[in-house]
Amino acid sequence: MTRFPIILLDYDGTLAETQPAILRSLKEAFEASGYDSPSPDALKAELSKGGTLQTLFQAIVPDSEDEDAGAFVRHYRASYPRADQEETVLFDGVKPVLEALKGKGATLVVLSNKHAPTVHKSIERFGLSRWFSGVIGSEPQYPHKPDPRVMTDRVRPLFPEADSAEFLMVGDTLADLTFARNTGIASCWASYGHGAAQPCIDLRPDYRIDRVADLLNVVSL
């Protein structure tokens, strides 16, 4: 049994170490778009917020037009599949933990701000699909975390009868923890991921895990 029947799991920095692939693809996308790429530290600072490609680009190039952001996103998505294939790995223990959570009766859903087709492909490549009842990624017509409409528009339709107390959001960034706060569900901070530590701590998540396997302690009754 689990104290949280429905577990929403972020992907980047929570289940998979994607940062090397992301940084590589961001650098290539900035250069292909005609900009000098920011330093890795500057990019990591933006990634720690857990936003989308468009919000990252517009934060770094604030006077850009929407068309510039669109071109940047296209360049990134052209570069990312190869980088993902070559550099992304799962964090230690992901598959045994997912198996154990399912064994406890939990329903698992990936809830990511990553481009939906990209997160689906990565999950399929690692053979994770069988553990998930849903995979929700970023799509242009929908809001993204931490917007509470992600819950009403995308998560709730999968679980129309569930009580808020049944959900646990597990993620590594401000976007994940703020989403949980905005929607009144429990939060679990994956401290080993890409989020900046102090801002995440300041949000006072309900739980903290320092490795994937710690999640079993959080959900056990």
| CA distances in angstroms from 121 to 81, 117, 125, 127, listed in the order given | 9, 6, 6, 10
The fold for domain 19-87 equals DNA polymerase; domain 1 (1.10.150)
Map out the domains of the chain as residue ranges. 6-17+89-219, 19-87
- As given in the structure block, the two tokens for residue 142 are 């929908």
CA distance 76 to 53: 8
CATH number assigned to the domain covering 6-17+89-219: 3.40.50.1000
Average pLDDT of each block of 10 consecutive residues along the chain (221 residues)? 93 97 96 94 92 92 91 95 95 98 97 95 96 96 96 97 97 97 98 96 98 97 67
What pLDDT score was predicted for residue 221?
Answer: 67
| CA–CA dist 172, 194 (Å, integer) | 6
Residue 64: the pLDDT is 87
